[in-house]
């Protein structure tokens, strides 16, 4: 059994980790930390976990995290890098759901997250945890930076086109929308029901911290430093789900290619990426509470490709993907504990 600890178990990604790990046949939950809620039974905060998780929250200083095999950080940015060195020294594998180990350029991280990076040596060692694109490196990693929710959908949508060199790389567009849970559990005016319900808006128009992450990874996928993606996020009046509409200009090879076949071949055998039949339009409810991504590719004009991608921002966009990474790091079947059927309606 894999002994697992979770740092920051009270937020939405934390409770999603608990929901999924409680059903994982090879996991033993050892510790769930919270400074504010220490001593409170987890099921008292989240009644959905009654009979599934019998632990109480513990203060971080009282949690025996070094006795675990894997520790997940479902915490604000900056927490994982403060504790990672001690855990790694004890032989614990670390998976961070925040941004501490995503951006390889320390200066870019500090610019977008407004804090110094305290362990650049560990950042250099860390592996970016998108299994469909980085599986072999994840298998041998000690520390994984779990991708952002938006970047997951954008990379999976553009990767087949970039790898096959079918599109012009310098002006990609990612028009993405997320449910309100992507903002986290903290109380803020813009996520209040009267503010977010019956409304639709763009945000981060002048620049969003997922933009540098998207461009870093697309350039690595393409092997081309000229790749540039314009990313604009939007807030949907739903609780969970991401819908990304991606656009690119096809080059000569792309205009002649069978784009449907390109995507089907790229994701053949992938357990969690479903390439839909030609002409389809995926819906967020088709992946709700699951680790699946559904993709449809269209050619609305002879020189333009449009890719539609849906995922659950809390599952494949965060906690489910983190468990997928854990499975790989621990030599387990990658899909173990993650094959729940999406919830509909």
For residue range 279-299, what is the model confidence (pLDDT) as tens digits?
999 999 999 999 999 999 999
For the chain, the domains span 2-125, 150-313
Query: Which of 75-84, 186-195, 207-216, 277-286 is least confident?
Result: 186-195
Confidence band of 185 (pLDDT split at 50, 70, 90): confident
Confidence band of 190 (pLDDT split at 50, 70, 90): confident
Confidence band of 186 (pLDDT split at 50, 70, 90): confident
Q: Domain 150-313, CATH 3.30.360.10 — does that match?
A: yes
Confidence band of 328 (pLDDT split at 50, 70, 90): very high
Whole-angstrom distance, CA of residue 303 vs CA of residue 254: 8
Whole-angstrom distance, CA of residue 17 vs CA of residue 19: 6
Whole-angstrom distance, CA of residue 296 vs CA of residue 301: 16
Burial per residue of 142-165, b for 16 or more beta-carbon CB atoms within 10 angstroms, e otherwise: bbbbbbbbbbbbbbbbbbbbbebe
- Of 314, 197, 333, 176, nearest to 245 (Cα)? 176
Is residue 29 over pLDDT 90? yes
Residue 100's φ and ψ, nearest 5 degrees, are -60, -30
Q: How does the average pLDDT of the chain come out, rounded? A: 97
Whole-angstrom distance, CA of residue 202 vs CA of residue 242: 14
Place of tokens 């393409």: 222
The percent of residues above 70 in pLDDT, for the chain, comes to 100
CATH number of 2-125: 3.40.50.720
Instruction: Please compute the mean of the pLDDT values over residues 309-317 and round it to a whole number.
Output: 98
Is residue 188 over pLDDT 90? no
- Of 211, 239, 244, nearest to 227 (Cα)? 211
Which residues make Cβ contacts (< 8 Å) with residue 252, sequence separation at least 6? none
pTM score over 0.75: yes
Catalytic residues: 149
- 8 Å CB contact between 28 and 21: no
């Amino acid at each position: 059994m894999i002994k697992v600890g979770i740092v920051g178990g009270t937020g939405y990604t934390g409770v999603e980790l608990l929901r999924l790990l409680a059903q994982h046949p090879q996991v033993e939950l050892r510790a769930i930390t919270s400074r504010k809620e220490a001593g409170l039974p987890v099921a008292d905060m989240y009644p959905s976990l009654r009979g599934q998780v019998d632990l109480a929250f513990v203060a971080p200083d009282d949690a025996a995290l070094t006795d675990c095999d894997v520790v997940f950080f479902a915490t604000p940015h900056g927490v994982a890098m403060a504790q990672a060195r001690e855990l790694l020294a004890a032989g614990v594998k670390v998976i961070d759901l925040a941004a501490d180990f995503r951006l390889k350029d320390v200066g870019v991280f500090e610019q977008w997250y407004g804090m110094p990076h305290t362990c650049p040596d560990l950042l250099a060692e860390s592996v970016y945890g998108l299994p469909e694109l980085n599986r072999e490196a994840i298998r041998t990693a000690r520390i994984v930076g779990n991708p952002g929710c938006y970047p997951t959908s954008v990379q999976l949508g553009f990767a087949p086109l970039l790898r096959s060199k079918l599109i012009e790389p310098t002006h990609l567009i990612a028009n993405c929308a997320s449910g309100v849970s992507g903002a986290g559990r903290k109380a803020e005016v813009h996520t209040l029901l009267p503010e977010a319900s019956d409304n639709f808006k763009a945000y981060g128009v002048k620049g969003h911290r997922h933009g540098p992450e998207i461009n870093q990874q697309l350039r690595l996928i393409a092997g081309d430093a000229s790749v540039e993606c314009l990313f604009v996020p939007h807030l949907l009046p739903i609780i969970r789900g991401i819908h990304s509409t991606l656009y690119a200009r096809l080059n000569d090879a792309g205009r002649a290619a069978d784009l449907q076949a390109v995507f089907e071949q790229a994701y053949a055998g992938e357990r969690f990426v479903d390439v839909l039949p030609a002409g389809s339009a995926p819906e967020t409810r088709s992946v709700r509470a699951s680790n699946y991504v559904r993709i449809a590719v269209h050619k609305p004009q002879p020189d333009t490709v449009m890719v539609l991608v849906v995922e659950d921002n809390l599952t494949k966009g965060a906690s489910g993907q983190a468990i997928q990474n854990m499975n790989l790091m621990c030599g387990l079947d990658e899909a173990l504990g993650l094959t729940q059927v999406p919830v509909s309606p």
